[in-house]
């Protein structure tokens, strides 16, 4: 019988990045445990059309109901912890967290952990307009001592457009990649020590460590938020069973990226 915890994953927003979560968590678990080991996951993949309709209408009460019900289905399926596999829908993290009796691991906590590991306290944010313009994400980072720099108003519109017209539809276009790289360079010139790809699809367009310039992650680090979140979730899945999820999470956030991910070699 597995001694690992079961991860509840609320995904489908979009399914492209949910694949990244599922793959990454299982890569860490498989390489750490060896053999045929894989992570116990209770996945609820929502219809993104439904969620997107809520976003466009600005009806985050309706989206909260969708996510809460998905979270409850994860818990009914045995989840010991739950994660929302998208940055923007962490607008509903408070409602989901309040409705469930298991921890709901916040993506911005994982981003702050990755930023500290990189030795930076100011990061740029590339994401949807609510993530870049509203306070819910930046305030969570500020709780960890991380300040943010965001693109110009015109660049925020373009970043958001690319996310919803291209990336969430699986389109990875060279022109958009070049535009994003220019925006990353601008954030670096304005004091960002790293840039968080704060939409879980952006890492598909700008994978950290690719390319040959600062905007591709060599001179300026790119934090793929989906990967950072998945790494933290994998460590919680693998944490000792005699330690509560809450305690394991507090310890991991205090220590930064730990031995489990490093030992996994990913």
* Residues annotated catalytic, as ranges: 86, 199
Three-state DSSP state, 109? helix
- For residue 116, give the nearest of 146, 87, 137, 142 by alpha carbon: 146
Q: Rounded CA gap, 34 and 118, in Å?
A: 28
Reported as type and span, the H/E element at residue 221 is strand 221-224
- For residue 168, give the nearest of 11, 20, 4, 13 by alpha carbon: 13
Under 8 Å between Cβ of 163 and 155: no
- The two most distant CA atoms of the chain are separated, in Å, by 54
Under 8 Å between Cβ of 83 and 9: yes
Under 8 Å between Cβ of 28 and 266: yes
């Amino acid at each position: 019988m597995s001694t690992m915890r079961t991860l509840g994953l609320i995904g489908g927003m979009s399914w492209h990045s949910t694949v990244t979560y599922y793959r990454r968590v299982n890569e860490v678990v498989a390489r750490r445990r060896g053999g045929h080991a894989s992570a116990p996951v209770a996945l609820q993949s929502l219809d993104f059309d439904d969620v997107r309709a809520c976003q466009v209408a600005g009806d985050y009460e309706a989206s909260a109901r969708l996510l809460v019900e998905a979270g409850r289905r994860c818990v009914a399926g045995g989840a010991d912890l739950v994660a929302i596999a998208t940055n923007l829908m962490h607008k509903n993290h408070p409602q989901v967290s309040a409705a469930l009796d298991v921890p709901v691991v916040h993506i911005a906590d994982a981003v702050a952990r990755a930023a500290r590991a990189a030795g930076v306290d100011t990061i740029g944010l590339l994401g949807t307009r609510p993530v870049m313009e509203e306070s819910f994400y930046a305030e969570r980072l500020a709780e960890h001592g991380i300040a943010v720099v965001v693109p110009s108003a015109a660049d925020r519109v373009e970043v958001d457009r690319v996310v919803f017209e291209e990336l969430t539809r699986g389109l990875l276009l060279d022109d958009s990649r070049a535009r994003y790289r220019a925006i990353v360079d601008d954030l670096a010139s304005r004091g960002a020590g790293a840039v968080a790809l704060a939409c879980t699809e952006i890492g598909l367009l700008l994978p950290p460590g690719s390319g040959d310039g600062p905007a591709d992650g060599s001179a300026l680090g790119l934090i793929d938020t989906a990967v950072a979140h998945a790494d933290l979730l994998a460590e919680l899945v693998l944490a000792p069973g005699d330690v509560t999820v809450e305690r394991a999470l507090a310890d991991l956030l205090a220590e930064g990226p730990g031995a489990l991910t490093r030992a996994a070699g990913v």
